[in-house]
Amino acid sequence: MYRGTNKTALASQEQISQAFLALLKEDSFDKISVSQICRQAQVSRQTFYSLYQAKDNILLSLLEGQEVLPANQEFNLPFLATRFSFYLKGNIAFLKILKQQKLLYLLYDNLYLKLSQNQLLLPNKDELDRNFILSFLAGGLMGIAKAYLESNGRQSQAELENRILKLLQGKF
């Protein structure tokens, strides 16, 4: 995946990702071809492959670009509940597409990656314990996202934040 600063390449990436999201609203992930994406984005296949290599990478790039959790910042459960509730409210349209396409597992992968990259999170735990805790947190947050989407995002940000905090604290 392209991660440079060339303005033309970045503009092409944006065109491709927007075209792909538009196509995902109309058809299933598996049925969308690279040719369709290129036609919709008005870019060549060569441009597509030089920037993404595969259509899966478009979604991964979009997820990577979303700031779910801050990098290398200490945080506690209330902070995590606040950040994640804002993330859900702000990205509901994209997350609905992932759910509709049965690709919500990508959110788990992204959450786990972001949590594991934060070296200030659980610094005193051994690697095995830390991996189990991070996997549990990512799975729990992904489950919360799924439940939120199934409720059609009816909760206010404050209600959602409160519900997430209670769950993270084990107050069912």
CATH number reported for the structural domain that contains residue 23 in this entry: 1.10.10
Same domain, 58 and 70: no
35 is a domain residue: yes
**What's the total number of domains in the chain?**
2
Residue 74 lies in a domain: yes
Please state, in angstroms and rounded to a whole number, the distance separating the CA atoms of residues 31 and 120.
42
Say which residue the tokens 């991070």 belong to: 134
Statement to judge: residues 80 and 56 lie in one domain? no
Residue 1 within any structural domain of the chain: no
Look up the domain containing 13 and give its range. 7-62
156 and 110 together in one domain: yes
Query: Do 92 and 121 belong together in one domain?
Result: yes
User: Both 42 and 100 in a single domain?
Assistant: no
Q: What is the pLDDT of residue 33?
A: 96
Residues 124 and 75 in one domain: yes
Q: Tell whether 74 and 130 lie within a shared domain.
A: yes
Q: What is the pLDDT of residue 102?
A: 93
Q: Is residue 45 a contact partner of residue 38, using CB atoms and an 8 Å limit?
A: yes
Co-location of 45 and 130 in the same domain: no
d(CA 111, CA 88): 12
**Confidence (pLDDT) at 161:** 96
Same domain assignment for residues 102 and 141: yes
| 110 within some domain | yes
At 69 the pLDDT is: 79
pLDDT at residue 167, rounded to an integer: 94
pLDDT of residue 70: 74
* 42 and 79 share one domain: no
| Runs of H (alpha helix) within 25-156 | 34-41, 45-51, 56-65, 77-90, 92-100, 105-117, 127-150
39 lies in a domain? yes
The pLDDT value given to residue 123: 85
Residue ranges for the chain with pLDDT beneath 70: none
Check the CA dihedral 81-142-3-127 and report its sign. positive
Domain assignment present for 2: no
Q: What is the pLDDT of residue 25?
A: 92
